[in-house]
Structure 1
């Protein structure tokens, strides 16, 4: 029996994955053109900084919403569920992306190829680090949840807070830094399912959106100023508040948009959230390929135009790819789904 989907959550995921794709678009341009606060097209660098200040924390928070439900499954079922949903796509799409990047290695920013692909079991591959890290977040909850079923949530929230506070000073070993940086957001997400399921007056939601947006603008301005001043450790901690306020803003907006669930644009955004995994793993190839073509061969000089074009192309490719895979009954091969 298929569980009933929650419109606002799918809409929030749709908004988050659009931010991820556009974030990767501007990040790719930043890397290839060596942009910064004082270079030409510095607005693209600032746009990247703003998006990266909350888009991945938002995804980790949304990923933690259903942990309680997942932990009610038998241990073997819960483990197999995450192997299929996270580990399997990670390795399949790492092989696909790694093979393609090996062929076009001389044109890419990272120069990734077979060497990095061989290391994929122990070194997160390219942008798929999110899936790698998320798998270990779930495994942490599975282990601690079985050992301490009544107190695992507050315990792991405290652990997440301690890790985040200490992460700027930790060594760069395996996934320690990213685990320490993002685990707190996943832990917070385990407390927030009621935010999406409990009905509240629309006036309260509008108020929440207004307050969170105002707070986000304030802390984001401070964050950009701190980044410009190159105050690295302070920026790490200010970033936490941009992440929280940005995610709150996104979630309140999703709840308001969900009231118009029958509008075609809202349905499109909701569908984008439903296939966010497919978009996440498929958008990198067309995004990088189109960027290389526009900058290296077509010599397009308007970098904002490049960002918009590669964003649109990556989305279209991902939508079509998801549709073709489903129509050809290949979901089980690419995503371990029927």
Structure 2
């Protein structure tokens, strides 16, 4: 892999650790990293909402920031997901697949359907109506921002079929290069682009990496160069040329997460990171509502303030929705998590 490597030093006892070793403790700074990444998702979805509505204006730094963040923030979620796969597979292929169906495939399908129905009911208020034709496609290609869960589920399936990481790394590298060789739809470009990050996460886990973000000064240079060249030349976000920058951005995010993990802000971000899944699923609906209201009551408001208001609405109402679902023991049914009763039964 080109670009600086994420620190993968093994724990002293790793060499003698048995295959069925107890599950390693949760890494607090990974939750902090998820918190940072999901905030970036919410903020830049807010920006893109105004951009797609034609109300973002011109002459701001937001396009450059948007390009920069999209190089690495979704890649971080893939590498974090891949990191826990080897341990999850130790519970058995059946239990692993059942868990991924419930926590990845089901929310992607359920919420794709809900969003599409709401989108069509409110068609006159949204930026772009999603057609109801071929609704069955969401079973395989979830709609809207749920593409992430669809891609992730396919990667989970691949790991259930074969645990040969060397093979999957080769496949991921080849697929990554195909994006720049053959013209393809964005749907398939995502599969090709993000696979290498997912496999990298699994490899780091196998080597018992603590994912500390060591080497961040070099990563800063690599990410800066990638942004400068990519944005200036209009390189697509799923191009293989941006992969080094993606890994560099992940290293920087991990370094920042580890640096602040022991502080109050880190604890808050870690708490948010543990709820990144429901935030990702739910945030678009309240943000769309907030954007519509702002357009009616304050159409001339500064773009920065509009993004702040809309993204805050998305975050707050997502957390409220998650809390209500948890209180009513509906997390499993709604695909937003696991109910306490089911967790207790599993243990």
With the length of structure 1 as denominator, give the TM-score of the two structures.
0.85
SS, match of residue 190 in structure 1: helix
* Counterpart position of 1:53: 71
- Equivalent of 2:180, from 163, 168, 171? 168
Q: Distance in 2 between matches of 1:199 and 1:221?
A: 26
Is 2:231 the partner of 1:213? Answer: no
Shift of 1:211: 2.9
Aligned to 2:198: 186
Partner in structure 2 of residue 141 of structure 1: 159
Equivalent residue number for residue 293 of structure 1:
293
How far did residue 86 of structure 1 move? 0.3
1:197 deviation in Å?
A: 5.5
Equivalenced residues, count: 317
Contact kept, 8 Å, 2:287 with 2:314, in 1: the verdict is: yes
Match of 1:225 in 2: 232
What displacement does 1:232 show?
A: 5.4
Counterpart for residue 243 of structure 2: 240
Deviation at 1:53, TM superposition (A): 1.5
Q: By how many angstroms is 1:58 displaced?
A: 1.2
C-alpha deviation, 1:225, in angstroms: 1.3
Shift of the 141–77 alpha-carbon distance from structure 1 to 2, 3 Å rule, reads same
Residues 1:291 and 1:118: Cα distance change in structure 2 (over 3 Å): farther
- 1:284 equivalent to 2:281? Answer no
CA distance in 1, matches of 2:275, 2:82: 17
What is the distance in 1 between the residues matched to 2:295 and 2:117? 22
- Give the aligned partner of residue 22 of structure 1: 43
Does 2:90 correspond to 1:72? yes
Bigger shift: residues 51-60 or 289-298: 289-298
Deviations 1:213-266 (CA, angstroms, capped at 9, x unpaired): 233223222222122xxx559x823322221111111012112222x1xx4322
Q: 3-state SS of the aligned residue for 1:33?
A: coil
The partner residue of 1:97 within 105, 110, 115 is: 115
Could you say which residue in structure 2 is the equivalent of 1:148?
A: none
3-state DSSP class of the match of 1:50?
A: helix
Asked if 1 retains the 8 angstrom alpha-carbon contact of 2:331 and 2:338, the reply is yes
SS of structure 2 residue aligned to 1:177: helix
Give the corresponding residue for 1:86. 104
Unaligned runs of 5+ in 1: 146-151
Match status 1:132 vs 2:150: yes
Deviations 1:128-187 (A, max 9, x none): 000011000010111122xxxxxx101111110010011233454694322111111111
Secondary structure of 1:300's partner? coil
Give the alignment of 1:198-209 within 5 angstroms: 198=210, 208-209=215-216
Cα 1:311/1:194, change in 2 over 3 Å: farther
| 5+ residue gaps, structure 2 | 1-21, 340-347
Secondary structure in 2 matching 1:325: helix
In structure 1, C-alpha distance between the alignment counterparts of 2:50 and 2:67, rounded to whole Å: 13
- Please identify which structure carries the higher helix content: 1
Query: Separation in 2 of the partners of 1:311 and 1:173?
Result: 29
Cα distance in 2 for partners of 1:199, 1:17 equals 18
What is the alpha-carbon distance in structure 1 between the residues aligned to residue 67 and residue 256 of structure 2? Answer: 21
1:267-313 Cα offsets, whole Å, 9 max, x none, are 21111111110100010101122112213553134212111111111
Is the 8 Å Cα contact of residues 179 and 239 (structure 2) preserved in structure 1?
no
**RMSD over equivalenced CA pairs, Å:** 2.6
